[in-house]
A and B are shown apart, each in its own frame.
Chain A
Amino acid sequence: MFKIILLKEMRETIGSAKFVFSFSVCTVLILLAFYVGARNYQVNRAQYEASVRENLRQMEGLTDWGQVESQIFLPPTPLAALISGLSNDVGRSIKVEAVGELISENSRYGEDPIYAVFRFLDLEFVFQVVLSLFAILLAYNAVNGEKEQGTLKLTFANAVPKDRYILAKLSGVFASVVVPMLLPILIGCGILVIMDIPMNGSEWLRLAMIVVAGLLFFMVFLNLSIFVSAKTERSSYSFLILLIAWIFFVLIVPRTSILLAGRAIDVPSIDEIHAQKFRNQSQLWTEDMQKIDAFVPPSNDPEKAFAAFNTFMNTTRETRETKIAEFNQRLNEDRNNRQAVQREWAFGIARFSPATSLSLAVMSLAGTSHAIAQQFLDQARSYQQSFAQFIKSKNNGETGGHMVRVKIGGAPQEKAKPINPYEIPAFHFQSMSVGEYITPALTDIGLLIGFNLMFFAGAVWAFSKFDVR
């Protein structure tokens, strides 16, 4: 019975004009997403490598390790090209000095605002917007359409259990879309291989999970469509209701959640934080200026006096910078903590929408969620410590920082030797382990399964009360 209805449903779906249209559009978009993603990755990779080289080249003329400031870059990843997530919003480079606050800058959207206007065509867009709309198009009249057509009565003149009928309908439409849809996805994977995109085992596994999450999301809208179709008498009504539901879930809920979370949790703006940091720096600087004015050399010997002054200035600067760093860190931590709470609120509210669950799941799997900015910053901080150690080892135990050292008398100065920037420890961005990518996505994949079960149960319940006459 199940198989008979399933096969009929597949045959009917595949034979319909709306399927041909949906399949053609999806195929083109999926292939484009893979091709454009692969091209973007190649371009980003080339830019990344050029930036790393340029950074070292710029340091080649320097003769004083104290003047060295390095720049580190966030390398592009293949999955970020397929699921862009927040990868284009976060700064892709950080200027690293031995001491001082680290700020990521040069985001893709900052550099090319046109991309921020239209965003990228990626797999998330195809799943979230295109496939969900096609799910509605294919199933909005799954039940009431059969009644309008007159075939439901004849079907249920036979010994057909209603729950099995709904399950077969769902499976039929799902299979008739998913099986052909896997073809462009497989071709897309072939494109990645042909274009030499270096995907490791973890990335292939996560790409597979991204596709699974996308298909679960597609099934949510199929279940919802069948539920609404079994709850309404006319297919025109169900189509209208489903379009409203789509707008609500995909557009309204995620945006509203940010507004609500913003109202619930107050997070100081970055300008306020900068103003506080600036005030603190100004105050410390004023205090230090007073100390400098009050400095009395311990000896009248100019050389000893300058040595003492240099030591005094270094100590003062290091103390000031430590205080600034501590204060900034406190401010940043406080802001980060508030942001984290606000984010949890926003995600909690937004997860009432399956569209949010899909976004969060695929971004976590692709490594392009909000965590990437923090991950980059954390690794930059860790790198800063080894960078500081290195500079100290090269700079007589000093971290540098634009202080001018004056030496009077003594032997004639030798011509300063240029530094070798290739000695500077290289920054290697460490990807997370597979488990670290997958674990945060499991909650949202679980939610997608939950949405499916809820809407399917709703569809079975609604159809049990549906008048098939």
Chain B
Amino acid sequence: MTPMLEAKNLTKRYEDQTLALDRVSFSVLPGQIYAMLGGNGAGKTTTINIFLNFINPTDGEALVDGIVTHLQPLAAKTKIAFVSENVMLYPNFTAIENLEYFTKLAGKRYVKKDLESVLSRVGLQKEAFDRKLKGFSKGMRQKCGIAIAILKDAPAIILDEPTSGLDPKAGFEFMKLLMELREEQKAILMSTHDIFRAKENSDVVGIMNQGQLVMQRTQKELEGEDLEKLYVQFMAGYMEPVSA
């Protein structure tokens, strides 16, 4: 099967010569959840930023459905939906108005009923649909963010630490939703600090440390393994990076 998201020797060196990514390679197939684990500054967000063409790689390439993101950024972006760590929307617009705007921006047209149906699906209370965003909690905003991603109906979804700061129930519901999207054959790349959920819900887990992908295991390979122990070991640099 052709990968929907693919990193090929992705390297990023910033102007101050900091090596943020060092020849990172991985791929995410349709219907697969890829969890990227790693501490702060490990390179997870840099990888995501390259996929979204917020920055260009110094070397290597990121591909979305075979499209090189830094060569054809607009074409690549039509195939990605993005949910950030802290979804921020227009505070003076209602949830529905925000959804309407961002889905139109993604080139989709929905009637209000469809928008309400997706907001219900992500678990937002009905009375919040027509409320302005400025009163929303982080969890409610994350739900709106995932609703926007669902409505974009892109084949790939990239999530940057989407459950950080969410209460356990909200986190659980969020992951449940991701599982549903996986069933819809979406390729999902997610950076997270949540080792437990990464092991429980992901098809592939990658651990990044100091810009390198130091470990990559499938769900099957992780069976019987203590992921937390592995994480600590790889983060401490006990083991060698995964070869490209």
Contacts and interface: CB of A to CB of B under 8 A. Distances in A.
Contact of B77 (A1, A157, A469): A157
Contact of B104 (A4, A16, A154, A157): A4
Contact of B90 (A5, A151, A159): A151
Contact of A154 (B73, B78, B82, B93): B82
Nearest to B87: A154
Contacts of A467: 54-55
B102 to A, nearest CB: 7
B152 to A, nearest CB: 8
B195 interface: no
Contact of B91 (A149, A161, A469): A149
Nearest to B148: A154
B74 interface: yes
Contact of B54 (A5, A12, A15, A156): A156
A150 B77 contact: no
Interface in B28-59: 49, 52, 54-55
Interface residues of A, number: 23
Nearest to A1: B105
A468 interface: yes
Given A4-B104, A4-B105, A158 B77 contact: yes
A158 B54 contact: no
Nearest to A150: B88
Contact of B92 (A5, A15, A158, A468): A15
Contacts of B90: 8, 12, 149, 151
A466 to B, nearest CB: 11
B208 interface: no
A149 B84 CA distance: 13
Contact of B105 (A5, A149, A468, A469): A5
A155 interface: yes
A156 B69 CA distance: 13
Nearest to B88: A150
A151 B84 CA distance: 10
Nearest to B80: A157
B106 A158 contact: yes
Nearest to B107: A159
B84 A4 contact: no
A4 B49 CA distance: 25
Interface string B80-98: 1110101111111100010
A157 B82 contact: yes
B101 interface: yes
Nearest to A165: B105
A469 B54 contact: yes
Nearest to A3: B104
Nearest to A8: B101
A193 interface: no
Contacts of A150: 84, 86-88
B75 interface: yes
Contacts of A149: 88, 90-91
Contacts of B77: 157-159
Nearest to B54: A469
Interface in B90-130: 90-93, 97, 101-102, 104-107
Given A1-B105, A4-B101, A160-B105, A151 B89 contact: yes
B11 to A, nearest CB: 18
B74 A154 contact: no
Nearest to B132: A15
A153 interface: yes
- Name which of B52, B86, B90 has the most chain A CB atoms within 10 A of its CB: B90
Contacts of B97: 11
Contacts of A8: 90, 101
Nearest to A155: B105
A160 B81 CA distance: 13
Contact of B89 (A4, A154, A156): A154
A143 to B, nearest CB: 15
Interface in B133-174: 145, 148, 152
Nearest to A152: B88
B92 A161 contact: no
Nearest to B145: A154
Contacts of A154: 82, 84, 87-89, 102, 145, 148
Nearest to B81: A157
B74 A161 contact: yes
A468 B88 CA distance: 14
A214 B124 CA distance: 47
A410 B138 CA distance: 115
A12 B94 CA distance: 12
Contacts of B148: 154
A153 B106 CA distance: 14
Interface in A1-50: 1, 4-5, 8, 11-12, 15-16
Contacts of A468: 54
A16 B92 contact: yes
Nearest to A4: B104
A160 B105 CA distance: 8
Contacts of B152: 158
B102 A158 contact: yes
A149 B107 CA distance: 23
Contacts of B91: 149
A153 B101 contact: no
A158 B148 CA distance: 11
B181 to A, nearest CB: 16
A153 to B, nearest CB: 6
Contacts of A16: 92
B179 to A, nearest CB: 22
A11 B106 CA distance: 19
A467 B152 CA distance: 24
11 contacts: A11-B93, A16-B92, A149-B88, A153-B84, A153-B88, A154-B89, A157-B77, A157-B80, A158-B107, A159-B73, A469-B54
Given A151-B88, A154-B102, 16 more contacts: A1-B105, A4-B104, A8-B90, A8-B101, A15-B92, A149-B88, A150-B86, A150-B87, A150-B88, A153-B82, A153-B84, A154-B82, A154-B84, A154-B88, A157-B52, A158-B105
Interface of A: 1, 4-5, 8, 11-12, 15-16, 149-151, 153-161, 467-469
Sort A-B residue pairs by CB-CB distance and give the 8 closest, nearest first.
Answer: A150-B88, A157-B82, A159-B74, A159-B77, A4-B104, A158-B105, A159-B78, A469-B54
Interface of B: 49, 52, 54-55, 73-75, 77-78, 80-82, 84, 86-93, 97, 101-102, 104-107, 145, 148, 152
